[in-house]
């Protein structure tokens, strides 16, 4: 909410995850066969046959549909802390054709931890206000990474944030935020001129409320698992 419509295919790694043909979550294409998204997106079912991944999407429901072959949930999801390590990896089929495809590309995995106060971008088809309609076309918000100590202080989340696996991005005054339906979508930061995936939309209290910025799964914390799991799932 509080965002703007993206230019068509401006963020070509943003994908749409559907459940029984209805919008469920966002995600990020990190390889021709793999999508990173939020683990909580699979609360209804972990049956891959129930899901599709649409790539090259601008208008919700568009793009090209790929089957989900495997769903892998981070082993520490919800284990150490509520919503800890809210990361899932999907293997999709057929592999996405990247060569010569202007509408689809992959995003880089993080080369460094996210930088406090850096402005990053979140994309999604989620609600445009807390109780409002879902976005018809892909939207983006520009939000700064918030220091952990600030996000966890009494004026914000009062100790609810799990430092190893979460990061906060947004504004103390609210207004600009991710919302329901944006879950699993990418928080991307430009590092030395290339876009890297630093977060996945995870949770928050309401949308755009003062003192409650968006909370994101920290991708660099899950990176070793992601790389190992990709090798396992390829076999």
Q: What is the pLDDT of residues 109-146, one digit of tens each?
A: 999 998 899 999 999 999 988 878 889 999 999 999 99
Q: Quote the pLDDT of residue 205.
A: 85
> Is residue 86 annotated as a catalytic residue, yes or no?
yes
**Average confidence (pLDDT) over 34-54:** 98
pTM: 0.95
Kindly name the residue from 60, 74, 83, 86 that is annotated as catalytic: 86
Do the beta carbons of residue 7 and residue 138 sit within 8 Å? no
| Residues in CB range of 166: below 8 A, 6 or more apart | 83, 84, 86, 202, 215, 216, 217, 218
Q: Quote the pLDDT of residue 222.
A: 98
> Is residue 183 annotated as a catalytic residue, yes or no?
yes
Tens digit of each residue's pLDDT (9 = 90 or more) over 159-185: 999 999 999 999 988 778 898 889 999
Kindly name the residue from 84, 114, 165, 183 that is annotated as catalytic: 183
Q: Quote the pLDDT of residue 81.
A: 94
> Is residue 212 annotated as a catalytic residue, yes or no?
no
**Average confidence (pLDDT) over 18-47:** 98
223 is written with which tokens?
């990176």
Domains of the chain: 14-105+222-234 (2.40.10.10), 107-220 (2.40.10.10)
63 is written with which tokens?
């793009």
Kindly name the residue from 40, 58, 156, 198 that is annotated as catalytic: 40
How far is the CA of 62 from the CAs of 52, 55, 139, 182, in angstroms? Answer: 12, 8, 15, 17
Percent of the chain residues past pLDDT 70, beyond the cut = 100
**Average confidence (pLDDT) over 38-59:** 97
Report DSSP state, residue 55.
E
**Average confidence (pLDDT) over 83-93:** 98
**From start to end of 152-208, where are the E strands?**
166-169, 186-191, 194-203
């Amino acid at each position: 909410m509080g965002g703007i419509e993206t230019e068509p295919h401006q963020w070509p790694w943003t994908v749409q995850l559907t459940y029984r043909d209805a919008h469920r979550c966002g995600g990020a294409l990190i390889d021709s066969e793999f999508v990173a998204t939020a683990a909580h997106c699979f609360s209804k079912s972990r049956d891959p046959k129930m899901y599709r991944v649409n790539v090259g999407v601008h208008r919700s429901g568009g793009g090209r549909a790929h089957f989900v072959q495997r769903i892998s949930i981070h082993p520490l999801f919800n284990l150490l802390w509520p919503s800890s390590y809210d990361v899932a990896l999907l293997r999709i089929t057929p592999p996405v054709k990247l060569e010569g495809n202007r509408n689809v590309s992959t995003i880089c995995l993080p080369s460094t931890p996210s930088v406090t106060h850096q402005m990053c971008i979140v994309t999604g088809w989620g609600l445009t206000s807390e109780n409002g309609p879902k976005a018809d076309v892909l939207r983006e918000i520009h939000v700064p990474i918030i220091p952990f100590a600030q996000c966890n202080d009494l004026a914000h989340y009062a100790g609810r944030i799990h430092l190893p696996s979460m990061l906060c991005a947004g504004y103390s005054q609210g207004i600009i935020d991710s919302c329901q339906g944006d879950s699993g979508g990418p928080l991307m930061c430009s590092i030395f001129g290339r876009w890297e995936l630093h977060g996945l939309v995870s949770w928050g209290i309401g949308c755009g409320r003062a003192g409650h910025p968006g909370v994101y799964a920290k991708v660099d914390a899950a990176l070793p698992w992601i790389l190992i799991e990709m090798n396992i799932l390829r076999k």
